Amino acid sequence: MAAILVTGAAGQIGSELVAALRQKHGAAAVIASDVRIPITQPAGDAGPFEPLDCTRPDQVQDVVRRHSITAIYHLAALLSAVAEEKPQAAWSLNVGGLYTVLETARQYHCAVFFPSSIGAFGPTTPRDRTPQDTVQRPTTMYGITKVTGEMLGDYYARRFGLDVRGLRFPGLISHVAPPGGGTTDYAVEIFYQAIRYRHYTCFLRPDTTLDMMYMPDAIRAILELMTADPAKLAHRNAFNITAMNFSPEQLAAAIRQQIPDFRIEYEIDLARQAIADSWPRSIDDSAARQEWGWTPRYDLAAMTKDMLEKLGAKLKPAR
């Protein structure tokens, strides 16, 4: 039976993507994999799991061969803040791991999904409504690995006819798995702290405006892109997509609509602030809208309401 492989499946996106893919294709058809074994699997997520280090060609090939994999959703990566702390490890996983996945996909004729990021842009990119095709000279190791990944994906598509598709995600907000060390993690942490303590100390400046997206939209975007008619995809890889745009002070105001005594303070982390300052303030996702019909469903108010409801059901306020 043909099967799908998800790498980095224990992470923030994988924890929800695996469940969505299993709902669509059946649990047995989706092989979750990660270098770490998840302690608990989210409800409805029961299905095959393979321990897998993406930087090991032998391991990737073995899993792809044994499970007759036809599509790889390659999520394993070091995120922006961690990648700046460990640039050598970031290159090795983000580029080396992707290269291993693409080479295996070439040999076994698999489709590949690869998530890029707004981090693939840099300070010389137009910062407002950043176009789909524009200057990409990122100054972070994360961004450099993402641009490399986008170009490798395009190369494998053009040179070997591989079906490589991808999205440039903005910051992702979710309540199932914690974020993995990105610059936009504040937009998740703030909800946990708002419910528990009615207070949050933010590591970005109050006016740091970035694009964001709620995880249900991100998962739907992946599924829609991977089933889009290839004849309509002029870009295929590295589509800009976005759903909402806000700063920490605007997110705090949205939370205050539901929790009136919520307070926010700021202790700026210079490293993460520098990363955020090198990224676009907003991106233009019209190519995704035109080529495969992308439309977000959650704006700031709808996401905030849903996050507080979902987390409120599982967290208790601290006394």
Ligand X SMILES: NC(=O)c1ccc[n+]([C@@H]2O[C@H](COP(=O)([O-])OP(=O)(O)OC[C@H]3O[C@@H](n4cnc5c(N)ncnc54)[C@H](O)[C@@H]3O)[C@@H](O)[C@H]2O)c1
Q: Transcribe 115-155 into DSSP letters.
A: EEEGGG--TTS--SSB-SS------SHHHHHHHHHHHHHHH
Catalytic residue among 73, 99, 142, 156: 142
Of 217, 209, 218, 167, the residue nearest 187 (C-alpha)? 209
**Minimum gap (Å) between residue 197 Cβ and ligand X:** 23
**Minimum gap (Å) between residue 132 Cβ and ligand X:** 16
- Is the CB of 231 or the CB of 241 nearer to ligand X? 241
Are the C-beta atoms of 187 and 19 separated by less than 8 Å? no
**Minimum gap (Å) between residue 35 Cβ and ligand X:** 4
- Binding residues for ligand X, rule: CB under 6 A, are 7-8, 10-14, 34-36, 52-55, 75-77, 79, 93, 97, 115, 117, 169, 171-172, 179-180, 182, 184
**Minimum gap (Å) between residue 12 Cβ and ligand X:** 4
- Is the CB of 58 or the CB of 229 nearer to ligand X? 58
* Whether 186 is catalytic: no
**Minimum gap (Å) between residue 120 Cβ and ligand X:** 9
- Is the CB of 224 or the CB of 256 nearer to ligand X? 224
- Is the CB of 89 or the CB of 233 nearer to ligand X? 89
Residue whose structure tokens are 């200057």: 135
- Is the CB of 142 or the CB of 292 nearer to ligand X? 142
- Is the CB of 231 or the CB of 298 nearer to ligand X? 298
**Minimum gap (Å) between residue 77 Cβ and ligand X:** 3
Q: Which residues have a catalytic role annotated?
A: 142
